[in-house]
Amino acid sequence: MRKRLWLTAPLSLIAVSALAALLAVTASAKPSAANAGGTLNLASAGADVDYSDPALAYGVLSWGIEYETCANLVSYPDKTGAAGSELVPDAAAGMPVISNGGKTYTFTIRPGIRYSDGATLKASDFVYAINRDANPAMQSPVVQFIGDIVGLNDVVNKKAKTVKGVTAKGNKLTIQLTQPDGALLSKLAMPFFCAVEPSKTPINPQGVLTLPGAGPYYIASRTAGKQLVLKKNPYYKGNRPARSSTIVFTMNTNQEATFLAIKSGQYGLDPNGLDDPNAAQGLAQQYGINKSRFFVNSLVETDYLALNTSRPAYASLAKRKAANYAIDRPALLRARGYLGGVRTTTLLPKALSGGYWGAKIFPIKGADPAKAKSFDPNCGDVTVWGGNTTFAQTQEGIVRYNLSQMGCKPTVRQFGGFAIYTAAGVKGADFDMMFTGWNQDYADPIDFYGVLLDGRNIHASNNNNYSYLNSAELNKRIDQANVLTGAARLKAFGKLDVWTATQLAPFVAIDNRNYRQFLAPNVAGYVFQPAFASVDLGALYVK
Amino acid sequence: MIRYLIRRIIWAFALFIVVTLISFVLFFLIPADPAKEACGKACTAPQVARVAHYLGTDRPVYTQYGKFLGRLAPISFSGGFHLKSPNLGRSFVNRRDVNTVVGQAAPETASLVFGGMVLWMLFAIPIGILSALRPRSLLDRASMTGVLIGVSAHPVWIGLILIYVFAYTFHLFPLGGYANFFGGSLTQAGGPIEWAKHLVLPWMTFAFLYTAIYVRMIRSNVMETINEDYVRTARAKGAPESRVMRSHILRNALLPIVTMLGMDVAAALGGAIFTETVFGLNGLGYTSIQSLQQYDSPTVMGIIVFATTAIIVMNLLVDLLYAWVDPRIRLT
Amino acid sequence: MSLQEHHDVAPLGAAVAEAGLEADLAAQDDPLAVAPRGYWEQVWRRFKRDKVAIGGGITVILLFLLSFVGAPLFSWWLGHGPSRDFLGGGVTPGGLPLGPWSHFKDVPYQGATGDFPTVFFPLGSDGAQGRDEFLRLLYGGQASLEVAVGAMAISIVLGIVIGAIAGYYGGWIDLIVSRLTELVQAFPIVLFIIALAAVAGPELSNITLGFLGQGVFTIIVALSVFSWFYPARIVRAQILSLREKEFVEAARMVGASDARIIRSHLVPHLVGPMIVLATIVVGQNVLAEAGLSFLGVGVVDPTSSWGSLLEQATSFFLEVPWLMIWPGLMVLITTLAFNLLGDGLRDAFDPRSAR
């Protein structure tokens, strides 16, 4: 009997301690509330910024942060809608003087701008920034956009030390191009062209973690993978909002937990957008849309199916039109959850279409298999490429169903991650239809048409023109529109877009995605910045 | 003993080389180009080629593996023979040092695995022993039923149900995530209590399966030992029951358990993937899954190196420990 | 005694095979030699007495019937297949799946007017595609069981062949096999299986051999690569002990070939342990499949499996929690049934292991 006795001792000890631990744990601290007094707590579920260095940052989350901390030559106002997509001078005193047939841009830097460490912003800081971008040791992604700057590629290819085409003299900054570029100003609004203080931002292939900012905020601290802190720039004199004194991002939080923490006010919001898309309908019913806590804005983005014109399945216009009739756009959109986007039949998002957006060239209420069949009575094998996430599989299932409804024999091939782009970018890849999408790098239609449909850019591999369309007529029209500027430019591209969808139909446009946002009860001042596809962080505040 | 030790260490090295080589070749065969992703989505072919050269992915696999081993080796011959710290390279995705990434993820996994281990041993030892001493009793039958359910339910499912009931419905615990053991951050409270609070459900999920396995193992080991000759002899010689229990039965029954524990913990350090995924713990398992999805092979390789080392070293230690404790084992 | 022999790292953190099973089996005497005819009768008699094991066996048979016969029958009765989308009626306007026991009109798009047939979903729909969760659960059983049985068969056959060769010939062959086994154990297995499935998936998942679901082959391969060594070790130990027995010596003396000795004297002794192991491994593989498909490296849509259904359910975790109950329950029932059956079989084959 004694053996039982001594064995019960540890057992009861365990039971008691387990109970005690449980009590201690449940009775301990309640969730900490969002700090009042100017600190805004944000959570980024399942993601960190890729880089905090403006020369390397290349993501929606990091650009939202760079937007608050950067002084660019030109930028976008802290406004929503059309007003937020209009370029305005930022560190420049006014719009540049363009000369030499559109090949020389001269900026005058506004005096009195200071970084968060008190140093004054100089025109030469922009020269340094662009040289730093081009430095081969940095391997900045910006080089894909600005090969037209004189001497830039020489630096990238280690043939020169400095970019010849960018010079500063006093408060004047001159940028010279090899050929005119109607989109240069939109490109210069990207954070890659953020003014940086040379002594505080050395060449570092891993990127600097913190740096002084000349915008309303600066990146005060960052622990990669965990946390990033923005603090108000004490020397900022501009009129951009900076309502919270500190903004703290907690990175890589748990998605469901973040959604509920925002609901209860522990975090202000998740800058990546709504964490539980399936909750959208409930939130819209409870809080209304764009009223108090639930906000929906359209992104400058298009999801579409690329139709491979180089293979028999979609070589003819009739077959491509048939595909456009066969696809059930609302069902595909519903897979994104309630208010996940707006249906469309053209490639350019509303903000870039010069008023031509919304042309219902193909049915947007649902599929029309009968009409599809009339265009393509004997559809055969169709190979569809897509992703392998649950969401992608849902959409692929819908397309498979739609295609078989019109008599095609679809096969779906699924890829993990970005493997699909590597595979589909090889000329001659054996897909007929491919799920893809495009969001703007800079706010200009050429970022869509030049990259996605200009046939002269087709190479042996790494293509983005997944339609493999090389239409002389389309190329000519792109060139014609590309020389224009301002409103005429958008109008020309909008018209071109409608023409392409009707006359060439190299894609099945599905939707323009929405940015859905859910706010904590104690947070206000929500503004969506469309050009950066981000919540305007400086405008937010704790009530 | 020394000869045995040297042979085991050489063998451990060989294992390490083969495991990392096979893993490396596997990732080399991935049909996705990390250079395209690092370059940017609008990059043209020559731009992508330049980035590929920068990342080193344009070189043949043996060169890449050689460079990988060279970075990893604690010695260097460039500029004369000298010692250096092993370097796992940089992530393709955000160029972070993989050493740092692994160093950041390891504490979360270790918290989960070691905490879970304590939990399952706390339950498994008494339950296993008691049911062995009273076979076919109510306790034994109940624990055997529990064992069967434990080895049959999927940890993911257990985790999801625990979250739904205890975290979402009754708000007893957080839904997921991790709190630092030492100090918090600006937005999140830290310290041992927060840490434990975040880990209670993951521990339970993780320990569910292992409790079942260990109860069964302890039970069968104890039952076997009870009938051994030396136990009978000890009893016959009139040794007090508690002493027989302690120094004859438990000592011999639990010794193999300790060795298994070592190896299970080593295996789990690289593979608590399901629990980490369900609870959003940014440990080694979850990080490796995320990196795998982004084809970030340096990070995945770093975690494989860490996990393989843990397994090999733990196996070695356990063998040596066992040989030391139990002289009957011949070192061959 | 080497320590590795005692331990086994189970794939994907699933149940570790019976502790001490190997020791039991190795210590087994030669029951065939004693009573060659009565052996199977005895086994059957002992098995029949074990009501729990019989229950497990019946459940296993029912699960197979339900998945392979029941699924098409129910599909015929309900009038739609498991991959049929109900894009209009099978989803709520918010994109959420319908609840259990739902009747709805099969409209082509939401808001369409007219007269449409009514559809019945016993367990509601599976997600934004509006497919029948009940049918996908039944057909999912096909994929899960195909993976479990397929991977088991490959690993057992490989294990028997490798283990038998190693045990019978010994020497350097044995050394290579032992070293290979140690190598496999040094891998972070779970991580590696996932990596293997992710990397090889696009190439392998379209291999269906005419009857497998898409992606099933990938998981079978990934699971088999790492699970042959456990049966191999059992077989090797068994053969090592049998090799020296008189009846093998006798056979060798009368001039029987190696192949013949292995086939007619050694293999029969392995049938019992292998049947037991196979049963338990199938249970583990059901868990492993669920794990892989949950992580998205398993079956390829429209093939469903219990793991893929569980994964799909997690995106509706807060809104439609019941969706995650069904697939997990099926996994639990199946693995439990195989474990009960395996335990019963072991007791029947080796009465001394009975508790």
Render pLDDT for A154-202 as a digit per residue (tens, 0 to 9).
Answer: 999 999 999 999 999 999 999 999 999 889 999 999 999 999 999 999 9
Judging contacts by C-beta atoms under 8 Å, the chain B residues touching residue C294 are 156, 274, 277
In chain C, residues 200-239 whose CB comes closer than 8 Å to chain B? 202
For every residue of C126-155, DSSP letters joined together read -STT--BHHHHHHHHHHHHHHHHHHHHHHH
- Token pair of B122, please? 């706390």
Asked if the Cβ–Cβ distance from C191 to B288 is below 8 Å, we say yes
Q: Is the peptide bond before C302 cis (omega within 30 degrees of 0)?
A: yes
- Rounded to whole angstroms, the Cα distance separating A201 from A53 reads 9
pLDDT of residue C249: 78
pLDDT of residue C30: 47
Predicted confidence band at C352 (pLDDT cuts at 50, 70, 90)? low
> What average pLDDT score do residues C203-229 get?
84
Instruction: Give the nearest chain B residue to A437 (CA atoms).
Output: B41
Task: Report the complex ipTM.
Answer: 0.88
- Rounded to whole angstroms, the Cα distance separating C116 from C157 reads 53
Tell me which H or E stretch contains A453. none
Q: How many CA atoms lie within 13 A of B27 on its CB side?
A: 29
Asked if the Cβ–Cβ distance from C87 to A281 is below 8 Å, we say no
pLDDT of residue C233: 85
- Token pair of A115, please? 């970084």
For every residue of C3-71, DSSP letters joined together read GGGG----GGG-PPP-TTHHHHHHH---HHHH-TTHHHHHHHHHHHH-HHHHHHHHHHHHHHHIIIIIH
Distance from CA of B15 to the nearest CA of A (A): 30
pLDDT of residue B128: 93
- Rounded to whole angstroms, the Cα distance separating A40 from B112 reads 31
pLDDT of residue C240: 81
pLDDT of residue C129: 84
Q: Is the pLDDT confidence value at C175 over 60? A: yes
- Rounded to whole angstroms, the Cα distance separating C107 from C124 reads 16
Residue with tokens 């257990």: B158
Cα A30–chain centre separation: 36
Asked if the Cβ–Cβ distance from B256 to C16 is below 8 Å, we say no
Per DSSP, what are the bridge partners of residue C132?
A: C125
* Chains linked to A by 3 or more Cβ pairs within 8 Å: B, C
> What average pLDDT score do residues C243-248 get?
76
Among B279, B230, B227, which residue's Cα sits nearest to residue B116?
Answer: B279
Backbone angles phi, psi at A306, to 5 degrees: -80, 130
- Rounded to whole angstroms, the Cα distance separating C163 from C235 reads 5
Interface size, chain B vs chain C, as Cβ–Cβ contacts under 8 Å = 163
Among B215, B200, B43, B18, which residue's Cα sits nearest to residue B115?
Answer: B200
Per DSSP, what are the bridge partners of residue A294?
A: A518
Among A111, A145, A109, A115, which residue's Cα sits nearest to residue A130?
Answer: A145
Q: Is the pLDDT confidence value at B257 over 90? A: no
Distance from CA of A303 to the nearest CA of C (A): 18
Asked if the Cβ–Cβ distance from B32 to A417 is below 8 Å, we say yes
* Chains linked to B by 3 or more Cβ pairs within 8 Å: A, C
Backbone angles phi, psi at C80, to 5 degrees: -150, 160
Report helix, strand or coil for C263: helix
Judging contacts by C-beta atoms under 8 Å, the chain C residues touching residue B329 are 1, 3
Q: Is the pLDDT confidence value at A211 over 90? A: yes
Among A364, A384, A393, which residue's Cα sits nearest to residue A509?
Answer: A364
Lowest-confidence range among A321-335, B228-242, C209-223? B228-242
Distance from CA of C113 to the nearest CA of B (A): 39
Burial track C140-175 (b if 16+ CB lie within 10 A, e otherwise): bbbbbbbbbbbbbebbbebbbebbbbbbbeeeeebe
What residues contact residue A16 under an 8 Å CB cut-off, 6+ apart? none
Instruction: Give the nearest chain B residue to A206 (CA atoms).
Output: B95
Asked if the Cβ–Cβ distance from A390 to C312 is below 8 Å, we say yes
> What average pLDDT score do residues B65-80 get?
85
pLDDT tens column, A259-295 = 999 998 989 999 999 998 889 999 999 999 999 999 9
Asked if the Cβ–Cβ distance from C85 to A414 is below 8 Å, we say no
Distance from CA of B208 to the nearest CA of C (A): 11
Distance from CA of A216 to the nearest CA of B (A): 21
- Rounded to whole angstroms, the Cα distance separating A94 from C66 reads 74
pTM confidence score: 0.87
Judging contacts by C-beta atoms under 8 Å, the chain A residues touching residue B175 are 254, 256-257, 260
Q: Is the pLDDT confidence value at A541 over 80? A: yes
Q: Is the pLDDT confidence value at C171 over 90? A: no
Asked if the Cβ–Cβ distance from A390 to C311 is below 8 Å, we say yes
Instruction: Give the nearest chain B residue to C17 (CA atoms).
Output: B213
Predicted confidence band at C173 (pLDDT cuts at 50, 70, 90)? confident
Tell me which H or E stretch contains B163. none
Q: Is the pLDDT confidence value at C15 over 70? A: no
Tell me which H or E stretch contains A528. strand A528-529
Interface with B, mutate which of A32, A60, A62, A139 (most B CBs under 10 A): A139
Q: Which sign does the torsion angle of CA C315, C318, C319, C320 carry?
A: positive
Asked if the Cβ–Cβ distance from B271 to C188 is below 8 Å, we say yes
Instruction: Give the nearest chain A residue to B193 (CA atoms).
Output: A25
Q: How many CB atoms lie within 10 A of CB B154?
A: 29
Burial track B5-22 (b if 16+ CB lie within 10 A, e otherwise): eeebeeebeebbebbbee
pLDDT of residue B188: 66
Lowest-confidence range among B265-279, C152-166, C324-338? B265-279
Cα A511–chain centre separation: 15
Counting residues of chain B whose pLDDT is more than 70, the rounded percentage is 95
Asked if the Cβ–Cβ distance from A413 to C319 is below 8 Å, we say no
Interface size, chain A vs chain C, as Cβ–Cβ contacts under 8 Å = 101
Predicted confidence band at B85 (pLDDT cuts at 50, 70, 90)? confident
Residue with tokens 């004047």: A172
Task: Judge whether C61 and C76 are in contact, CB under 8 Å.
Answer: no
Task: Judge whether C196 and C269 are in contact, CB under 8 Å.
Answer: no
- Token pair of A316, please? 């003819």
Predicted confidence band at A381 (pLDDT cuts at 50, 70, 90)? very high
What residues contact residue C251 under an 8 Å CB cut-off, 6+ apart? C260, C261, C265
* Chains linked to C by 3 or more Cβ pairs within 8 Å: A, B
Helix extents (H) in B85-239 = 98-133, 138-152, 155-162, 192-226, 229-236
Task: Judge whether C91 and C128 are in contact, CB under 8 Å.
Answer: yes
In chain C, residues 276-335 whose CB comes closer than 8 Å to chain B? 283, 287, 290-291, 294-295, 310, 314, 317-318, 321, 324, 327-328, 331-332, 335
Among C100, C301, C288, which residue's Cα sits nearest to residue C213?
Answer: C301
Backbone angles phi, psi at A303, to 5 degrees: -95, 135
pLDDT tens column, C34-65 = 445 577 888 888 888 888 999 999 999 999 99
Instruction: Give the nearest chain C residue to A282 (CA atoms).
Output: C94
Asked if the Cβ–Cβ distance from C87 to A398 is below 8 Å, we say yes
